[in-house]
Amino acid sequence: MANSKYEYVKSFETLDKLLPNVWIVVRVDGRSFHKFTQKHEYQKPNDERGIQLMNRCAFEVCQEFTDIVIAFGESDEYSFVLGRSCNLFERRESKISSSIVSYFTSQFVYRWREYFNDYPLRYPPTFDSRAVCYPSNENLRDYLSWRQADTHINNLYNTCFWTLVLKGNKTPAEAEAALCGTLAEQKNEILFTQFQINYNNLPQMYRKGSVIYRKLVEESYLDQKSNQQKSKFKKRLVIEHIDIISDKFWKENPSLLNDK
Amino acid sequence: MANSKYEYVKSFETLDKLLPNVWIVVRVDGRSFHKFTQKHEYQKPNDERGIQLMNRCAFEVCQEFTDIVIAFGESDEYSFVLGRSCNLFERRESKISSSIVSYFTSQFVYRWREYFNDYPLRYPPTFDSRAVCYPSNENLRDYLSWRQADTHINNLYNTCFWTLVLKGNKTPAEAEAALCGTLAEQKNEILFTQFQINYNNLPQMYRKGSVIYRKLVEESYLDQKSNQQKSKFKKRLVIEHIDIISDKFWKENPSLLNDK
Amino acid sequence: MANSKYEYVKSFETLDKLLPNVWIVVRVDGRSFHKFTQKHEYQKPNDERGIQLMNRCAFEVCQEFTDIVIAFGESDEYSFVLGRSCNLFERRESKISSSIVSYFTSQFVYRWREYFNDYPLRYPPTFDSRAVCYPSNENLRDYLSWRQADTHINNLYNTCFWTLVLKGNKTPAEAEAALCGTLAEQKNEILFTQFQINYNNLPQMYRKGSVIYRKLVEESYLDQKSNQQKSKFKKRLVIEHIDIISDKFWKENPSLLNDK
Amino acid sequence: MANSKYEYVKSFETLDKLLPNVWIVVRVDGRSFHKFTQKHEYQKPNDERGIQLMNRCAFEVCQEFTDIVIAFGESDEYSFVLGRSCNLFERRESKISSSIVSYFTSQFVYRWREYFNDYPLRYPPTFDSRAVCYPSNENLRDYLSWRQADTHINNLYNTCFWTLVLKGNKTPAEAEAALCGTLAEQKNEILFTQFQINYNNLPQMYRKGSVIYRKLVEESYLDQKSNQQKSKFKKRLVIEHIDIISDKFWKENPSLLNDK
C-alpha cells in the first residue's frame, strides 16, 4: 500500500506564518460560557473559584510557552501576548493559536477539582482562539487597555445588575431597565446609596482583571563560597490585579515592551 | 473609563473565511505524544485504552459539531471533515479549528478515567490543529486514503519493531537495523516466521484506524397506531475500522460525498 | 557593502499560493474609466473602437498566458479563467494577477493607435486586478453567467438611457427618471415604440459581451506526401459574442471544463 | 435575465486587507527584461534612456498615488513605500499592488518615445508586483538598504563584466571567469588598472540607483500685499541618486519616517 500517490494532498496546506517583528496576541474565549456558568451554578456577579481557575490555566500556559510576555484575563477570556521576536512554531498561526487554546482547555478540565472541590464538572467546556498582530508598542498597549477597560465596564454593570437582583429583589428585566442608559457614576451611586457598597472597595481581581507577566524580583540566597546572604534579580511569573492602562505599570516593567 | 478610543484595535483582526464549496479538513495532532505515552506507560505497539479514548473524544466532537461528515483517526491524530456547504462559524478558519481542538482536548482529559481507570493522568496533554481545504471529492478521498495508508505503514512497522523488542529480545537499535529497508512483504514474513503472527489477523482498529461517520441504518420501532413493528432509516453516528481507500465504502455510503 | 545583514527582510514576504485544483479567475477592471471615456469622447452607449481594443488586449493576454482557458469581457472589465491544474508562477496570486493586469495595460497603450487612429491617448489608463478561486465547474459557470447577465442588464439600460438622451432629447436626469424601476420588458418597449429600435437586433458584441477561448476547429491542409487536401483539428484562439449562460456553448466545447 | 441567482459567486472573493500601521512596500519588477533589453538594444552595462524612463514612470506613479512616501529604483525594478497610516483602497492588497503596477506599465509604454525617440517599442513589456509589509522604521530602512546595496553589487559587477567584454575584448565566458570570486576591491582594481576607470567617478544614478521622495524645499515667491520677495517651504517630489543606507539622508528628511 504505497502512500506516495496520495501525498500530493499535502500541497493543499497553506503556510500561515505571521508577519515577523509584530506582537502576536492569542485571545482564548469560552464558548457558550453563559450556559456553562449557569449549569455549574457560578456565583454572580463573580465566582471566585471560576476566576481563580481561569488564572491558574493561564499561568500554566505562560509557564509552558515561555515566549509569552504578558497575559491578561477577565471573565471567560484570556489574551496571551507573544513577543515581536518570538519564533515559536516558526510563527505559524494555526500551530500557535491551537496549541495555546488546547493546553488552556486541558488545564481547565485537569484542575477543575482543585478549585471546585466536590462540585462536579458536568460536561467538558470548549474555548476558541484567534491570533491578532499588533505592530507597535502603542498598538499593543491599546489592545490591553481595551480589554481592561472592557473589564471595568462589564464588571461595574454586572455588579449593579446582580446586586439589584440578589439584594434589591428586582427581576432581571427590572434590573436591566434600571441600568439602561446609566453612566458609570450613576451605577456607583446606585451601589452606594441603595446598598452601601463602595465599588472601589471590591476586590481588584474583579475590577481590574488579572495580569500575568514575568516580573523582575529580588531574591536572596546563601552564597556558599562566602557563607553570606546575598541577593540577585530573577524573573518570576506573577499574577497581579493592577492597572495596565496608565503608564506606571509599563515604566516599572520596562523590559516587557523591549521584548527581551 | 471610555473604551471607544481603544476599539480601533479590533480593525487589526483578519477575516479568515475559508473558501466556500470546498471540503474542510481539520486535523488534530497530539503534541509531544511520544513523551506523553511513555510517561503514561502506554502499551506497545498499540494501547487499546489510548485508542479507545481518542475514538471517544472524536465521537463526541462529531456529536457536538454536526457539520462533520466523516472523521478518521490513527495514533495521536484525528482528521475531521466538514462538508462543502458547511457554514459553521461562517467558515471562519480560526473559530472552526480552535473550537474543535479545544473540545477534543477537553473530552480527552474529562474522559481519561473512563478508559484508564485508576491510572492517573499525570499532566494535561496538548493537541494542535490546522484546517486544510480540498476542492474535489477525489482530493478528499485521496486525503483520507493518505491517512489510512499511513496508518497501515506505521502500524506494520511498529508491530514488527515492538515484537522484535518485546518478544525477540532485540534492543531498539537492533530492531531498527533489522527493519531498515524492508518492504511490507518482508515485515509480514518476519512476523509470521519468527513469531507466528499473521499480521492480517490483528485487530482492524490497529491496522485500519478508526472511521466515524453518520451511517444510514434501519431501525425497527413499534408503531403505536397500528400496534405493529415497523422499521425506518435513520442516520446514526458510528465508529468502524474499515477500509476507506477502495470504492466499496463510498458506494455503500453515497450520501457522504453528496454533502447533505 | 555587504548585503547579507539586510537580507532578513526577505522573510517578511508572504507565500500567496492559491489553492490547487480550483479555477482561478483574474478580473481586470478599468480604474476611473467613466472619466477616461469622457476625456477620450467614447461614443455612447457603446464605442466600437474601445471594445475592440479591449478585446484585442485580452486576446493578446490569452496568447501570452496559455494557461488561460477562457476569458470574458464587457465594458471596461475582462475576466481571465486559469485552469484547475494551472501551475503558472506556481499559482502565486500576486505574480499571476499582477502580470496579467500589467500585460493587459501594456497592450492597451501599445495598440491604442491601431483602434483609435489619430485620436490621441491623452493620458495613460490604469486597470486593477484581483484573483478569485472557484472550486466547481458549476461555480465557474455561475461566475461567467453573472458577468454575462450583468452585461445584458447594463447594456439594455445604457442603450435606453443614451437613446433617450441622444435621440429623445431628454436630459440625463429625465432619462434616468424615465427608466427608474422599469423592467427589461419595459425598456425593450421604450426602445421599440419610441425609437423603432429592436434591441435584439443590436450587435451581439454589445448585448452578449466577448468570449475568448481556444476552439477546436477543423483546418484543411495539403498533405505533401499524397498531394491531397486533408483536414485536421486544431485549437485556435477565437473571439465570439455568444451566449455562455445556457448549456449549448459548454456542450459544444466540452474540453473547456475538462481543463486539458 | 435575473442576475441575483449568480451573485453568490461574489462571496468567493477574499478580503485581502493589509495589517494596519505597518509600512507597505510594493515592488514592481520587469518580467523577462533580459530579453526585452536585448531586443531593444539597450546599452551595456547601463542604458541611460532606459533608466530615465523607469524613473519617469515611477515619478508619475508617485504623483498619482500620493500615499507613496518614498520610492527606490534600480535596473528593471522599483519599490514604492506607502505609509503606515495609508488607507489607499482601504489597504486592500490586490487593489494597491495591481493599480500601481498597471499605472507604471501604462506610463512605460506611453512615454517610451519621450526617451527612446525614433527607436520603436517592438512589443509591450510586462511588469509584476507584490506587496510586503514592514512593521518598524528599522525594518523599512533595512529593506531600502537591501535594495541599494544590491544596486551597488550588481552595478559594480556589470560595469566590470561589460568593460571586459566591450573594451577588453573578452568573451562573456572569459569575463565571467575573470570576475568569479572577486571581491569589490578587486573589481575596482581591474577597472582602474586595466581600463583607467575610477568606479567612484561613474554617475551616481548607476551606482546608487534612484530615490524619489517628497522633499521639503524653500521656494521664493512675490508677496503681492507687500510687493516683497518672500520664501516658504513646500514639499516637492524629487528624484535623487544619493545614499539612503547611512543615517544622513534620514536625518535630513525626518518627516519621511514620521509618516505624515
CB pair distance less than 8 Å for C19 and B21 = no
User: Is a pLDDT exceeding 60 seen at residue B260?
Assistant: no
Taking alpha carbons only, the member of A27, A221, A197, A55 closest to residue A129 is: A27
Sheet of B228-240: strand order equals B127-134, B23-30, B77-82, B68-74, B210-223, B228-240
Asked if C184 reaches chain D (Cβ–Cβ under 8 Å), the answer is yes
Binding-site positions of C for GTP read 29-34, 75-76
D84/D67 Cα distance (integer angstroms): 10
Alpha-carbon distance B87 to nearest alpha carbon in chain C (angstroms): 16
Quick: pLDDT tens for B46-68. 999 999 999 999 999 999 999 99
Query: What chains are in contact with B, requiring at least 3 Cβ pairs below 8 Å?
Result: A, C, D
Alpha-carbon distance A65 to nearest alpha carbon in chain C (angstroms): 23
B63/B140 Cα distance (integer angstroms): 21
D194/D170 Cα distance (integer angstroms): 13
A112/A54 Cα distance (integer angstroms): 10
Q: Which residues of A touch B35 (CB under 8 A)?
A: none
Q: Name the closest residue on chain D to residue B21, using Cα atoms.
A: D12
In the three-class reduction of DSSP (H, G, I as helix; E, B as strand; rest coil), residue C46 is classed as: coil
Residue A3's pLDDT is 77
CB pair distance less than 8 Å for B20 and D12 = yes
Quick: pLDDT tens for A199-208. 999 999 999 9
Q: Name the closest residue on chain B to residue C84, using Cα atoms.
A: B135
User: Is a pLDDT exceeding 80 seen at residue B2?
Assistant: no
Phi-psi region of C108 (alpha: psi -120 to 50; beta: other; left: phi over 0): alpha
- Name the residue range of residue B87's domain: 16-149+203-208
**Average pLDDT, rounded, for chain B:** 95
Percent of chain B with pLDDT over 90: 91
Q: Do the Cβ atoms of B165 and B171 come closer than 8 Å?
A: yes
User: Is a pLDDT exceeding 70 seen at residue D2?
Assistant: no
Residue C227 CA: distances (Å) to CA of A37, C221, C223, D260: 90, 10, 5, 76
Residue B127 β-bridge partners: B30
CA B94 to chain centroid: 20
CB pair distance less than 8 Å for D136 and A21 = yes
Residue A134 β-bridge partners: A23
Binding-site positions of C for Mg(2+) read 29-30, 76
Quick: pLDDT tens for B71-125. 999 999 999 999 999 999 999 999 999 999 999 999 999 999 999 999 999 999 9
Q: Name the closest residue on chain B to residue A101, using Cα atoms.
A: B102
Residue B219's pLDDT is 87
Confirm whether A41 is domain-assigned: yes
Angle, alpha carbons A57-A59-A60 (nearest 5°): 65
Confirm whether C136 is domain-assigned: yes
Asked if B19 reaches chain D (Cβ–Cβ under 8 Å), the answer is yes
Alpha-carbon distance B46 to nearest alpha carbon in chain D (angstroms): 44
- Is A220 flagged in the annotation as binding? no
CB pair distance less than 8 Å for A22 and D139 = no
N residues, chain D: 260
Confidence of residue B3 (pLDDT cuts 50, 70, 90): confident
Q: Which residues have a Cβ under 8 Å from the Cβ of A258 and sit 6 or more positions away?
A: none
Q: Do the Cβ atoms of C83 and C67 come closer than 8 Å?
A: yes
C190/C171 Cα distance (integer angstroms): 16
Q: Which residues of A touch C15 (CB under 8 A)?
A: 15, 17
Confidence of residue D3 (pLDDT cuts 50, 70, 90): confident
| Residue B227: CB atoms within 10 Å | 7
Confirm whether B168 is domain-assigned: no
Residue C260's pLDDT is 45
CA D7 to chain centroid: 40
B116/B53 Cα distance (integer angstroms): 9
CB pair distance less than 8 Å for D103 and C126 = yes
B59/D229 Cα distance (integer angstroms): 85
Provide the greatest CA pair distance for chain C: 78
Q: Name the closest residue on chain A to residue D138, using Cα atoms.
A: A21
Q: Which residues of D touch B12 (CB under 8 A)?
A: 19-21
Residue C194 grid coordinates: 419610441
Confidence of residue B252 (pLDDT cuts 50, 70, 90): very high
CB pair distance less than 8 Å for B19 and C21 = no
> Which of B8, B10, B11 to mutate against chain D (most D CBs within 10 Å)?
B11
Q: Which of residues 135-154 of D touch A (CB under 8 A)?
A: 135-136, 139
Report the range of poorest mean pLDDT among C50-54, D47-51, D119-123, D214-218.
D214-218
3-state helix, strand, coil in chain C (%, to 5): 50, 20, 30
Asked if C85 reaches chain B (Cβ–Cβ under 8 Å), the answer is no
Confirm whether C124 is domain-assigned: yes
Confirm whether C48 is domain-assigned: yes
Quick: pLDDT tens for B22-50. 999 999 999 999 999 999 999 999 999 99
In the three-class reduction of DSSP (H, G, I as helix; E, B as strand; rest coil), residue A43 is classed as: coil
Taking alpha carbons only, the member of D206, D145, D159 closest to residue D187 is: D159
Q: Name the closest residue on chain A to residue B184, using Cα atoms.
A: A1
D37/C20 Cα distance (integer angstroms): 35
Quick: pLDDT tens for A49-63. 999 999 999 999 999
Contacts C–D by Cβ distance under 8 A: 165
Alpha-carbon distance B133 to nearest alpha carbon in chain D (angstroms): 14
Residue D221, judged by CB atoms within 10 A of its CB (0-12, 13-18, 19+), counts as exposed
> Which of D6, D7, D10, D15 to mutate against chain B (most B CBs within 10 Å)?
D15
Quick: pLDDT tens for A108-140. 999 999 999 999 999 999 999 999 999 999 999
**Average pLDDT, rounded, for chain D:** 95
Query: What chains are in contact with D, requiring at least 3 Cβ pairs below 8 Å?
Result: A, B, C
Alpha-carbon distance A12 to nearest alpha carbon in chain B (angstroms): 7
Backbone angles phi, psi at C241, to 5 degrees: -120, 75
In the structure, how many helices (H) and strands (E) does chain A have? 9, 6
Asked if D90 reaches chain B (Cβ–Cβ under 8 Å), the answer is no
> Which of A25, A139, A140 to mutate against chain D (most D CBs within 10 Å)?
A139
Confirm whether D226 is domain-assigned: no
CB pair distance less than 8 Å for D9 and C143 = yes
Q: Which residues have a Cβ under 8 Å from the Cβ of C183 and sit 6 or more positions away?
A: none
Quick: pLDDT tens for D63-88. 999 999 999 999 999 999 999 999 99
pLDDT one digit per residue (tens) for chain C, 260 residues = 567 899 999 999 999 999 999 999 999 999 999 999 999 999 999 999 999 999 999 999 999 999 999 999 999 999 999 999 999 999 999 999 999 999 999 999 999 999 999 999 999 999 999 999 999 999 999 999 999 999 999 999 999 999 999 999 999 999 999 999 999 999 999 999 999 999 999 999 999 999 999 998 888 899 888 999 999 989 999 999 999 999 999 999 999 998 64
Residue B201 β-bridge partners: none
Residue A242 CA: distances (Å) to CA of A72, A83, A184, A245, C250: 10, 21, 20, 9, 68
Q: Do the Cβ atoms of B101 and B110 come closer than 8 Å?
A: no
C239/C56 Cα distance (integer angstroms): 9
Confidence of residue D4 (pLDDT cuts 50, 70, 90): confident
Q: Name the closest residue on chain C to residue D121, using Cα atoms.
A: C110
Q: What ipTM does this complex have?
A: 0.94
Confirm whether A175 is domain-assigned: yes
Alpha-carbon distance C184 to nearest alpha carbon in chain D (angstroms): 8
CB pair distance less than 8 Å for D146 and C6 = yes
Quick: pLDDT tens for A2-58. 678 999 999 999 999 999 999 999 999 999 999 999 999 999 999 999 999 999 999
Q: What is the b/e burial string over A66-81, where b = at least 16 CB atoms within 10 angstroms of the residue's CB?
A: ebbbbbbbbbbbbbbb
- The pairs formed by A55-59 with CB atoms below 8 angstroms and a separation of 24 or more are A55/A210, A55/A212, A55/A239, A56/A107, A56/A111, A56/A114, A56/A115, A57/A104, A57/A107, A57/A108, A57/A111, A58/A104, A58/A210, A58/A212, A59/A212, A59/A237, A59/A239
Q: Which of C102, C131, C133 sits opposite D105 (nearest CB)?
A: C102
Q: Name the closest residue on chain A to residue D19, using Cα atoms.
A: A133
CB pair distance less than 8 Å for C142 and D8 = yes
Q: Do the Cβ atoms of D147 and D79 come closer than 8 Å?
A: yes
Q: Which of D20, D21, D135 sits opposite A21 (nearest CB)?
A: D135
Q: Which of C12, C103, C133 sits opposite D132 (nearest CB)?
A: C12
Confirm whether D22 is domain-assigned: yes
Number of domains observed in the structure of chain B: 1
What angle do helix axes B172-179 and B137-166 make, rounded to 10 degrees? Answer: 130
Asked if B258 reaches chain C (Cβ–Cβ under 8 Å), the answer is no
**Average pLDDT, rounded, for chain A:** 95
Taking alpha carbons only, the member of D71, D79, D85 closest to residue D18 is: D85
In the three-class reduction of DSSP (H, G, I as helix; E, B as strand; rest coil), residue D167 is classed as: coil
Query: What chains are in contact with C, requiring at least 3 Cβ pairs below 8 Å?
Result: A, B, D
Q: Name the closest residue on chain D to residue B22, using Cα atoms.
A: D12
The CATH number of the domain holding residue C63 is 3.30.70.3000
Q: Which residues of D touch A19 (CB under 8 A)?
A: 19, 22, 133, 135
